Structures are given as structure tokens and as C-alpha cells.
Structure 1
Amino acid sequence: MKIGLIGTYDVENFGDCAFPSMYQFLLHKYWPDAQITLYSPTTKVADILEFEQLKELPGSDVAGSFVEDALVLTGGETISYGHSAGTYIYPVASYSAFLRLWLGPLLAAARGETRFIAHAVGGKLGDETPYKVIGRLLRSADLVTFRDQVSSDRMSTPDWRFPLATDPMFAIRNLASKPEFANRVSRLLSAENIAGGYIACQVSLPYVKGKLETWAVSVSEIAISLKLHVALVPICHFLNDAEVLESVRVQIANLLSPYELCVEIVPERVKIRDTIALIGCSSGFIGTSLHGAVTAVSFGKPLAVLSSSLNGKHEQTLRSVGVNGAVTDNIGGLRACFERTSSSDMGELADNAASLAERDFIQVVERLKASRQPRPEIDKNDVVKIVNFDKATVASFKHQLNRNFLLMLRRIPGLYEGYRSLRARLAG
């Protein structure tokens, strides 16, 4: 069987790049000889990805674009619409990165060229009307499941409800053996920190709202209370995690030093299984990364997650597997979150989460094995509507000016990266 996995595997972000490794592992349990192809908006392979090649998703509906028996859209907030002035900048006349991820594959499946499944995906916040249009279109897919109730509600109508499925990354502990994970950590951290135990810590600037130093103090206080070292682990590389963590490393070191505790930062952009190992072999996780948190749960580790909302993607995803009290929207709540999860039976929660992830993946397997069932026809008017919504997001002069400015920066090597770094620091 030929299976195409679809996602933003061209973005330097742990969660995005871990999905294909997880799906390949799960698919090969049922089809050991399955040929796996990866599709992304661009062909630029992320440094941390464990695959060597990406195929580019088409920017319009082109017959014969896919040769696979089935296409599976993987997680993250991959069901949405709207052109960007950031990671992806495409001509407004073509599909945005979002429509490339799902609309093109959906239309190919509607013509009978392949199958299209969206599994445990999420949707970004936005106006209700476009999402109801998306929901009507997605009825024609072979299978669509959402990872959280908020995303499902956004696309559903009273007469058509999209089911939920557990994020498969909750089974991420199965990607390697404990000795292999431990060996990876031994190459990245000092023996002293490993032997003494450490907390894996990560933060992205947009979440701290200008209080990065306060975050560093909170992390240090938690580590001191537990007599644990600190390992700073960059996860969201496209948000400059490594630079952010390096900026507080000395501060944390000074706070830990009187207690004979150490802090070290992991080399930037290690491979996916290295990041999994660093969290899985830790004594706990403090961070803002959703899939950093999911990985911690998979290994049964206590955690504290700083989110921008108490009912956003972090809380919704963790709650789906019974993990409560791990998320806060203020830095001062991190310690209480870590203490609450430390007192929970995280081992039992980890086993339950992994079991749910594998159980819900069976939906994908069964749909791929079964004969293809008739699906509702796509309303061409809905296609026109969502394409127009897609274009309207950058219709203003302000948006056009911003896009042109960023396109100019990208033509000069290093300038765009420097601009993003400065912008991230100012946002923090």
C-alpha cells in the first residue's frame, strides 16, 4: 500500500516533525511494507525531521497530483483557511498553506483518485461561518476525526457531528526502547545531571508575555524544591526557543548554584527521537509546547504547562486522556500544576493515554482496509466560498504591505531570520 502523510513537516517544530515518525510506526504495524510519502506546503525538509524528502502540495486543484492509495492528514492545527504573512507566503491567486493541506487532497479523493483521511486534527480559532463551510466540505472525506471538542464543534452542525480521536502522539513512548532513549540522553547531557535527575524545561516567548525572567525564577524554585537539575530543551525552533532559553541560562544557573544544582542547554535542533528521550528520561516537564506536554504524559512524567488559555489546545488535548490540573495561564501557577500532577498516578494515566491513542488509530486502519463507501458529493459553491474566504484574509492594504515587506527580507540571506528573532524578543 502507498500512503501519503500530510502535514507541516517543513516547519522546525517538534510536534509537526514528530507526527510522520509516529504515523509510520503505527502504519507499519498493520502494513509492514507500506510505502510512506510525506507531503508539505514546501519541499524544504526541517532539520529535525527523521525523513529525507518531502513532496510539495499543489497550490490549486490539479487532477492526478497524488499517486498514493490514501492520504492521511496528521495533527496540529491543520484544518483552517487563510493566507499568511509569516511561515508561508503564497500568491493570493493560489491556495494558502492551509488549503493545500486539506482542500486539494479532499478534491482528489472526491474524484476517486485516492482516499482522504484527517485523523485527530485541530482547527485554529476564527470566524464561525468559514468553518461551517469547511465542515460541509469535510463530510466528503473518507474519515475525519478531531483531537479536541472545541475543534469538532467549530466544524460540526446539528445534523453532522465529527467524532473525536486521541492524539496518536500519546503513544510516542513506543518509538524506541528505554535503553535507546537513555543512550540518546547520555550523548546530550552531562553524566552529573542525568544521575541527579533533571527537569526538562522549554518556553516560547509569546506565552510569557514579557515575563521571561519571572518564568526562569519559577522554574528554578520548582527545581530547588525537588533537588533536581534543569535541562533547557529547545522544541519550537521556529519561535527561536534556543535563543530564548540561552538568554536565561545564566540567571537559572545563579539561582541553582547555592543548592549545588546545575543547568545546561541542549544543542539546538536535535532529531525528534532525541527530544523524545530528553523528556521521557527526565523527572518532569515544564513548558509551553503542546507536544512536549503530550510526550511527558506518554512517559508518565509530572508536568506544568503554560498556555495562553485555560480552555485552549493544551487543556483540551490533555483533558481528553484524563490529565487535569496541568495547565495554567499564568507563570505563578506553574508550581501548583507540577505539584498536582506529581501527586497523580501519572503511570496509570500514561498507560491509559497510549491505549486510547492506539485504539483510536484503529479507525484509520479499518477505513483503509474496508471497501470505499459512498460519500456526500462536494458542493462546488462551498469550494468557491472557502477559496474566497482564503483570499479575503490578506485583502487589506496593510496585509499586502506586510507580505511584501517579508518577501523582500527573505531575498536577503540571514535578514529574515534576524528580523524574526528580533520580533520574538520584542513580543516577549
Structure 2
Amino acid sequence: MMSAGSQPPIERHQQGSTPTIAVEPGSERRLVRIAIWGTFDLANFGDLLFPRIFVHEMTRRLPRADVRVFSPLGYEHPVPLDGGFVAEPLGEWSRERVGELAEELDLIAIGGGEIIHTGDELYARYYDIAPEDARRLAPSAFFLDGLGPDAERRCPVAWHAVGVPFDIVGEDAARIRTALASRAYVSVRDELSRQRLVRAGVEREIAVVPDSGFLAERVLPRPLLEKRLRYLRAIGSYPVSEPPVVVQGSVLLVERAEEIGSALRAALEERPAPVVLLETGPCHGDGEFADALARHLTGPVFRMHGGVGLEDIASAIVHARAFVGISMHAAVIAFAYGVPAATLNLVGFSKLDSLSQLLESERTLVRRGEDLPRAIKRVLDGERPGANLRSLVPRIDAHFDRLAELAERAAAARRGGDWWQQNAAALAEADARYERLRRAYEARGQRRVLERLRFAELLERVETGTSRRETEARLLAHMDELGRLRRELEARTRPRGLKKLLRRITPLRRLHASLRRSRP
């Protein structure tokens, strides 16, 4: 039996294989109870991507792990982007609440995202609550203070590649120092975050780990994203003829929409391509920016609204000619899948500067308006960052190895004492019940994705007497034309122009009816 103080070695594998904890035979039957805390109940691509990757990576290493996801409001604040993958609510911090969680869990990982700050009122807009309610909810009490020193001796807490968005001073610095003194493991996602902690007086090891989003292809494989592309084309949200420039921004860029639109128009005159307006963060006002930018663009413009799923957002970026936007995780996805990207850091986010340094992509980082035309032209010409994904992945894998090691060691320590002896039967029954519930929950969560795939798959079965390839080409071409006519219809307001447009649509409606009749 492994002693409570021993550290189980991690079996090192080649990239792409499944790392596991190397322990004595039979240990794979142990239940290791893990939680991840963060803002996974917000309508934002990056926040919703974190738990998907975390659950995948921890269960690769600990197949019997019971991984739970917690957020400030959790399933009490559902968002369209979550696809049915919802978090449990943390609720308001109290000693009773953290004591309860400490007894239920063997390890808590906090992060990722820029959640290491005390500005609880900033969450008011994201959760659509009053500032005083956000302060009462106090997410920072969980994200900074964790369980507290006493409870963390029983249930270790780790910072999971978090971001520190602001300098920490005064009472906040003292609070951080106290919290981290007993923390089992502290990791941040960039060097600037580490420096901010050091300047706050933190005197302990702080690991710098690249954002876990770089592992996205493990949970968003290319075959799935190809199917999502077919769906996006089928509903007229993505061009058929050629890869587009995918553009995204938040409410912070609305005042710069005319400037950004002018730079895009100039670049696209020399390097023609359709434009897709993408919303990766509805909670950040991406829709407001898309509305503003659309008024300053010409040529083919497509729109992906905020109600699509994570797979759809990733597919739009992965199949683009280039990405231009302010979203950090959209830029991470572009890099991970080899898509040129220009980052619009016109508001001075330190996380975007840090990402640019990591990826060696300063030539396509836009800090000033005059940098816009040059950066956009570079990515349209195919310029990519100097860094290599293969240099980042081993660092992230080593980080997950360490988290798995902490969880296994803590679980083994509990099983070696009276607590485990007294509760073994109850835990076994709870585990079996949880497995049944998890299967039902996962089936529900996947339902939305499967329904979206259904229409795209129908395209493969359409036959009208011509070859499958010819049929598909005809359908895609007509969907592209229907999308163009839909946009033209929205732009027209005069009755005479509308009547003319309806006459042009009639042949396409007849084609659609004939294809429906020929469907098997």
C-alpha cells in the first residue's frame, strides 16, 4: 500500500499517448475526487473550453477520477454556448460551505482565466446582477482564498494556470500572500502574472504554464470540426466558395469599428475574401461590435451569432483563411490549428501582450490603429507565429501530471485513515450512483450537438441521379447563393426591389422542393 507521504511517480509517455499514475495493482479502482473552480457559467468561448480540457486530461491520467465542475452560479445561470455541459453552483463563501467541499473532494484546481483579482463587482455585468449582489456572491473568496489553511491540509488546492490581470497592492497583497502560503501548487499562465505575484510579496515557487487551450484538438478533433463546417454552411453562416477572414471583437472595440472596417476593406481589395463576423464572447458584447463593424464592410459578409456552440466557434476559426480579433482563446485556437491570426490589442490587455511574446507573433499584434492595415495584410498573406506548438504541449502535460499526482496522493492519504475505513461502503455506492447519473447527463449534453450534426449528415445522403460529389457541389453552391440573397433581402426596404428579389429566389425554391422529394 502506498504511504500517505509518498509521491507516486508519473509514467512518462511520448506525446499523444495517455499518461497514468504508476501505483500498485488495483489502485486503478480507487475513486479520486477532483473539482475545478472557475467562471465556467459565462457565455464566453475560453471560459467554457477550460473544463472540457481539464476533465479530459485528468481522466486520461486517472481513469477512475470523479471530476466535478463548479462556478459561482453554475446551472442557475445557463448560457446557450454551454451545449448542456453545466457547472454546479459554488454559491456564497462560508466556512460551512468550504468545509463541506473539503470533505467531498481530494483536490481542487482553480482556473484558468483571469480570475485572480478582488474586483467582484466586475462580475455584475457578466451575470446580469446588481453590483451589490456580485460583491455578496464574492467569487474572489473562492478563487483567491480557496478553502482556507486548515481545510487545505485535508484537501489540497492548486492554481491551474490562472491569469493575474492587475497589479496587487495593499490589503489585497497581504490576502494573496496568506492564501498562497498553504497552497499545494501555484501555476500561472504567463510570466507577467508571475511577476505580479512576486511584486505582491509572494515568496514561494510559482510555475509558469502555457494556457491549457493549446490542447484543444484533443477535445475538438478535426473530423468533428469538419462536420460543424458543413452545418455552418448549410444554415448560411459560412461561405462555401473559399475560406473567409473571421473577425471578432468585443464592446470595447465598438468605438474603433469604423477604423477596423476601413483597414479590412483596404486589405481585402488587394486580397479578396469573404468575411465572417464571429461572436466568441456574448457576455463581453461581441454582438454589439459585430453590429457596428458590419456597417463599415462591403462585399460578402456572413454572421455567426452568439447562440452557436463551442464546436461551431472552433470550426469557424480552424477553417478560416485568417483570424482577426481580440479574443485570446480564439487566437490560441488559431495557433493550435495553424491558422494565421492578427490580435487586436487596441485596449492594452496584458494577457494579449503575453500571448504574443509566447507565440513570437509581435508582427501581427495590433496595439495602435496605424498597425491595423499591415497586420491584416500579413495574416492574409499567410504569416504565422514563430513559436511551435510542439514546444508548448510537453509543459502543459507536465502540469497535468503534477495535478494528477497531487490528487492521487491526497486520496491515498485519506484512504489510509479512519475516515476511509468508516466511509468505504458509502463511497462505493455513491460512486456507482454517480456513474449512472454521469452517463445520463453526458447523453443529454451531447443531444444538442447531435441534433446540429443531423442536417449536415443528411446532405451526404441526397441523391438526384447525379454523382454524390456533383450533388454536394450543387447543394453547396446553391446554399451560398441563398445566403447571399438572404443578406440582400435584409438590405432592401423598397417594395419594388423586394418583388424583384422574390422573383429571383423562386427557381431556387423549386430546386429545394425537388431535392426534398428525392431525399431517401
Aligned counterparts of 1:236 and 1:215: Cα–Cα separation in 2? 19
1:369-408 pair list within 5 angstroms: 369-370=408-409
Q: Unmatched 5+ residue regions in structure 2? A: 1-31, 414-520
One-letter code aligned to 1:242: G
Q: Is 1:330 aligned to residue 378 of structure 2?
A: no
Aligned counterparts of 2:276 and 2:412: Cα–Cα separation in 1? 50
Cα displacement string for residues 126-183 of structure 1 (whole angstroms, at most 9, x for unaligned residues): 4423235303421311111011112111112474341211111012122232221011
The alpha-carbon distance between structure 1 residues 75 and 222, as it changes in their structure 2 partners (threshold 3 A), is farther
Shift of 1:125: 1.2
Aligned counterparts of 1:373 and 1:32: Cα–Cα separation in 2? 15
Q: Is 1:125 aligned to residue 125 of structure 2?
A: no
Shift of 1:283: 1.5
**Which residue is equivalent to 1:27?**
58
Paired residues, number: 365
Partners of 1:119 and 1:144 within 8 A in 2: yes
Partners of 2:267 and 2:377 within 8 A in 1: no
The SS at the match of 1:145 is: strand
One-letter code aligned to 1:45: P
Shift of 1:215: 1.2
The SS at the match of 1:27 is: helix
**Which residue is equivalent to 1:212?**
257
**Which residue is equivalent to 1:149?**
191
**Which residue is equivalent to 2:510?**
none
1:281-320 pair list within 5 angstroms: 281-308=319-346, 312-320=350-358
One-letter code aligned to 2:362: N
1:190-201 pair list within 5 angstroms: 190=236, 193-201=239-247
Aligned counterparts of 1:75 and 1:325: Cα–Cα separation in 2? 27
1:82-161 pair list within 5 angstroms: 82-84=119-121, 86-87=124-125, 89-90=131-132, 94=136, 96-107=138-149, 109-112=151-154, 114-129=155-170, 130-156=172-198, 157=201, 159-161=203-205
Shift of 1:100: 2.6
The partner residue of 1:360 within 378, 399, 403 is 399
Partners of 1:90 and 1:96 within 8 A in 2: no
Aligned counterparts of 2:397 and 2:151: Cα–Cα separation in 1? 25
Q: Is 1:81 aligned to residue 118 of structure 2?
A: yes
Aligned counterparts of 1:355 and 1:291: Cα–Cα separation in 2? 19
Shift of 1:325: 2.7
Partners of 1:300 and 1:346 within 8 A in 2: no
Aligned counterparts of 2:192 and 2:51: Cα–Cα separation in 1? 24
User: Please, what TM-score do these two structures have when normalized by structure 1?
Assistant: 0.76
Aligned counterparts of 2:275 and 2:146: Cα–Cα separation in 1? 45
**Which residue is equivalent to 1:184?**
228
Shift of 1:286: 0.3
**Which residue is equivalent to 2:288?**
243
Aligned counterparts of 1:271 and 1:108: Cα–Cα separation in 2? 40
Name whichever structure is richer in helix by fraction: 2
The SS at the match of 2:302 is: strand
Aligned counterparts of 1:328 and 1:102: Cα–Cα separation in 2? 32
Work out the percentage of aligned pairs sharing the same amino acid. Answer: 20
Aligned counterparts of 2:392 and 2:273: Cα–Cα separation in 1? 26
1:246-261 pair list within 5 angstroms: 246-252=291-297, 255-256=298-299
Shift of 1:80: 1.4
Partners of 1:61 and 1:104 within 8 A in 2: no
One-letter code aligned to 2:113: G
One-letter code aligned to 2:224: E
Shift of 1:373: 12
Shift of 1:345: 5.0
Aligned counterparts of 1:192 and 1:133: Cα–Cα separation in 2? 48
The alpha-carbon distance between structure 1 residues 76 and 192, as it changes in their structure 2 partners (threshold 3 A), is closer
**Which residue is equivalent to 1:396?**
none
The alpha-carbon distance between structure 1 residues 93 and 108, as it changes in their structure 2 partners (threshold 3 A), is farther
The SS at the match of 1:231 is: strand
Partners of 1:17 and 1:46 within 8 A in 2: no
The alpha-carbon distance between structure 1 residues 173 and 2, as it changes in their structure 2 partners (threshold 3 A), is same
**Which residue is equivalent to 2:99?**
64
Aligned counterparts of 1:92 and 1:199: Cα–Cα separation in 2? 38
Aligned counterparts of 2:412 and 2:365: Cα–Cα separation in 1? 41
Which of the two has higher C-alpha Rg? 2
The SS at the match of 1:200 is: strand
User: Please, what TM-score do these two structures have when normalized by structure 2?
Assistant: 0.64
One-letter code aligned to 1:363: R
Shift of 1:19: 0.8
Shift of 1:91: 5.3
Cα root mean square deviation, aligned? 2.9
Aligned counterparts of 1:222 and 1:33: Cα–Cα separation in 2? 52
Q: Is 1:18 aligned to residue 87 of structure 2?
A: no
Cα displacement string for residues 292-340 of structure 1 (whole angstroms, at most 9, x for unaligned residues): 1111111111111111466711110232244433322223313323455
The SS at the match of 1:285 is: strand
The SS at the match of 1:84 is: helix
Aligned counterparts of 1:347 and 1:293: Cα–Cα separation in 2? 14
The range that moved more, 169-178 or 323-332, is 323-332
Partners of 2:244 and 2:275 within 8 A in 1: yes
The SS at the match of 2:232 is: coil
The SS at the match of 2:81 is: coil
Aligned counterparts of 2:64 and 2:253: Cα–Cα separation in 1? 42
Aligned counterparts of 1:31 and 1:79: Cα–Cα separation in 2? 28
Aligned counterparts of 1:25 and 1:226: Cα–Cα separation in 2? 40
Shift of 1:106: 4.5
**Which residue is equivalent to 1:164?**
208
